[in-house]
Amino acid sequence: MSQDAAQLVNVTILFADLLDSVRISSVLDFWAYDDLVTEYQYYLNSAADEIGSELVAERYVKGDELALFLYDRNQVERNRTILSLPEDDPKRRELEAENAECDNEALFSALRAGIMLKNAWLSSPVNFHRVTSRQLPFDLGIGIHSGLCVLRERGDGTTRIEGYTINFAKRIEGYSRMGRVTRLMLSRTATQHLRFVRREFVVIRQRLGFISHKPRGEDLKGLQAGLELYELKFFHRLRILPPKDKVVVFEQLLRNDPVNIWAYHMAVEYYIFKEPNLDKARELALLAYANLPDNEKICYDLGTIAKLKGELEQARFFAGRAVELNREWDLPLGLLCDLEYLGDADPQKMLAYQRRAYALCPDSPQRCWDLGEAYLHADDRAAAKEYIGEAVSLYPDYLRSEEKRTLAGELGVLGEAEPDAQDCD
pLDDT digits (tens, 9 = 90+) for 37-51: 888 888 877 777 776
pLDDT digits (tens, 9 = 90+) for 339-369: 999 988 899 999 999 999 999 999 999 999 9
Average pLDDT value for the chain = 88
What is the CATH class of 357-425?
Answer: mainly alpha
Over residues 13-28, the mean pLDDT reads: 85
What are 15's strand-pairing partners?
A: 67, 143
| Residue 425 banded pLDDT, cuts 50, 70, 90 | very low
Which CATH number fits the domain 241-311, given the four candidates 1.10.3470, 1.25.40, 2.40.50, 2.60.40?
1.25.40
pLDDT at 25: 80
Task: Write 275-281 long-range contacts (CB < 8 A, 24+).
Answer: 275/244, 275/247, 276/308, 278/305, 278/308, 278/309, 281/305
pLDDT at 419: 38
Q: Is the pTM here over 0.85, yes or no? A: yes
| Tens of pLDDT, residues 152-161 | 776 666 677 8
pLDDT more than 70, % of the chain: 91
Domain boundaries, the chain: 3-235, 241-311, 357-425
Helix spans in 85-228 (H): 90-122, 125-132, 164-175, 188-195
Strands annotated E in 228-348: 229-235
CA distance 14 to 390: 35
pLDDT tens-place string over residues 103-137: 888 899 899 889 988 998 888 888 888 888 888 88
In tens, the pLDDT along 297-320 reads 999 999 999 999 999 999 999 999
Q: Matching CATH topology for 241-311 and 357-425?
A: yes
Instruction: Give the domain 3-235 fold.
Output: Alpha-Beta Plaits (3.30.70)
